Amino acid sequence: MKYVLVSGGVISGVGKGIIASSTGLLLKTSGLKVTSIKIDPYMNIDAGTMSPIEHGECYVLDDGGECDLDLGNYERYLHITLRRDNNITTGKIYQQVIAAERRGDYLGKTVQVVPHVTGAIEEWVERVAKVPVDDSGEEPDVCVIELGGTVGDIESAPFIHAMTQLQRNVGKNNFFQIHVSYVPVIPPGASGEQKTKPTQRAVGDVRSAGLNPDLIACRCERPLEEPIIKKIANMCQVEHEQVFAVHDVSTTYRVPLLLEKQNLLPILRRKLQLDAITIPPTLV
Ligand code: ADP
């Protein structure tokens, strides 16, 4: 199983969901079976009790699971059917850990965020990633995980820790991280300057949390200027090809093309050694 983690920095609503769905779509076009998991680091068990004014409409899955709209994007972009377990919330994880504690499953141990909550998150991800989500009924090859919120929030910390654990356990060639950042234009408008400092800070935050992004996707209102891409690569100490520009587009269905033009697939294939996965000849 290969994992692609999509995390975000600077602000929420930066476009993680669209980038995660688009990445999944590109992987699917190369013949791989793709599933997805959305992590929402809030205490609600699911989005069913949350005000649509605050959070947008609640998306209802085939099994009745009530969740965030992003799950709808995954189903549409990837042509898959997800279940309630494809949406992890802090509430669901704590509910499971506390139920296990009441049953005595921890055999008298002190139950702690690390390793018990983080272990429950990792176990959940590894279990659900294997569940077939399309008509083939076969286990997926790749699981795209979107971590909601922004890295650095207190709420996200156990999930980040679980992801570092997952990366260690599955190995570097089975784990790819895209960190989505925001490049503001100051002052807004055509004459404004694209500012890189929030991205530099966001990448610093994610590294200090124990993850090292393979790709920095920069959302900006207009295409990133070449010197700005160079500056981000230089300041964040990554290669030029690891900085992606994702500007505002008229429809989010253009985002997969933006990523494809910047060679996302070859980069993913190289790092995740995807050529080793046999694809049925009918799909190539
Ligand atoms: P997040 O998952 O980070 O909260 P979303 O992927 O849900 O963010 O995107 C937030 C909003 O921004 C959505 O309404 C989405 O349609 C829009 N959006 C995302 N990426 C782009 C883009 N490149 N151009 C225009 N709108 C976008």
Query: What's 149-188 look like in SS3?
Result: CCECEHHHHHHHHHHHHHHHHHCHHHEEEEEEEECCEECC
b/e for 160-195, b at 16 or more Cβ within 10 A? bbbbbbbbeebeeebbbbbbbbbbbeeeeeeeeebe
Provide the pLDDT for residue 54: 82
Of all protein residues, the one whose alpha carbon is nearest to atom 25 of ligand 1 is 248
* Span from the CA of 63 to the centroid of ligand 1 (angstroms): 26
Query: Of all helices (H) and strands (E), which one includes residue 75?
Result: helix 70-78
Provide the pLDDT for residue 278: 61
* SS3 track for 39-62: EECCCCCCHHHCCHHHHCCCEECC
Regions of the chain with pLDDT less than 70: 278-284
Residue 138 DSSP symbol: P
> Which residues form ligand 1's pocket by a CB distance below 6 Å?
8, 12-18, 70, 246, 248-249, 252, 255
Provide the pLDDT for residue 192: 85
Return d(Cα 242, Cα 238) in angstroms, integer.
6
Of all protein residues, the one whose alpha carbon is nearest to atom 9 of ligand 1 is 15
Residue 113 DSSP symbol: I
* Span from the CA of 68 to the centroid of ligand 1 (angstroms): 13
* Span from the CA of 154 to the centroid of ligand 1 (angstroms): 23
Return d(Cα 126, Cα 86) in angstroms, integer.
11
- C-alpha neighbours within 13 Å on the C-beta side of residue 202: 28
Q: Is the ipTM of this complex over 0.90?
A: yes
Of all protein residues, the one whose alpha carbon is nearest to atom 22 of ligand 1 is 248
Return d(Cα 138, Cα 227) in angstroms, integer.
45
Return d(Cα 253, Cα 274) in angstroms, integer.
24
Provide the pLDDT for residue 239: 92
* Span from the CA of 119 to the centroid of ligand 1 (angstroms): 31
| Cβ proximity of 212 and 239 under 8 Å | no
- C-alpha neighbours within 13 Å on the C-beta side of residue 74: 30
Q: CB neighbours of 1 closer than 8 A, spacing ≥ 6?
A: 126, 129, 130, 139, 140, 141, 142, 143, 170, 174
Mutate to test the pocket of ligand 1, among 10, 18, 23 (most ligand atoms within 8 A of CB): 18
* Span from the CA of 75 to the centroid of ligand 1 (angstroms): 16
Provide the pLDDT for residue 11: 80
Counting from 1 in the atom list of ligand 1, the atom nearest the Cα of 14 is 3
